[in-house]
Chains A and B, each alone.
Chain A
């Protein structure tokens, strides 16, 4: 089955800095890569996603890049703000796994004011 590795497990930045979270996946058939943000005590919420036919996608301060050959994808947050502090999860899904997302272990992002 699919295996998703996520790094780093903790990321501490100063307000205004950029943050980058990286994930790798194992199943070359995976074709959909969502990112979720989970605040303390709340449900994971989708913040951005990318399909395998696209190399990069941007939405305001967040962007995701995908390298299919290397089987890795990354989340980039620019101009970080304290409210960006949360746990971020990457996931991968595709026909090999009945389109059920496999999640990474999460990155705890702390943005210091």
Chain B
């Protein structure tokens, strides 16, 4: 499968714990996006990278959230001191260049904070 890949698919964690998700984009895609989707909502933009540079962050991305893309390939999204409100599906997407409309999503990581 040469699409966008996310791991893990599901994560259950206790409130206050840290979690980290991984996204592997389509190999030639230089842009990588993170979204969050809660029940009954559309995907909400969190942040995006062009190569290894993080170019934009949403107001939704609190100080407890950090994302990296150290070598311009895969990316990680870490949530520190998780809260129940962090429970959501975290989606990653990638694209080739800024104007490219082909922007497929990964399968997502469903986070449940108990």
Residues of A participating in the B interface, judged by any CB pair closer than 8 Å: 4, 6, 32, 34, 42-46, 49, 89, 91, 98-106
- Chain A residues near B98 (CB-CB < 8 A): 98-99
From A34, A102, A104, contact of B101 by CB (8 A): A34
- Chain B residues near A106 (CB-CB < 8 A): 40-42
With A98-B56, A98-B98 in contact, do A103 and B44 touch (Cβ < 8 Å)?
Answer: yes
From A6, A42, A101, contact of B103 by CB (8 A): A101
Confirm or deny: B104 has a beta carbon within 8 angstroms of a beta carbon on chain A: yes
CB distance from A1 to the nearest CB of B (A): 9
With A44-B105, A46-B104 in contact, do A100 and B45 touch (Cβ < 8 Å)?
Answer: yes
CB distance from A57 to the nearest CB of B (A): 13
- Chain A residues near B103 (CB-CB < 8 A): 46, 101
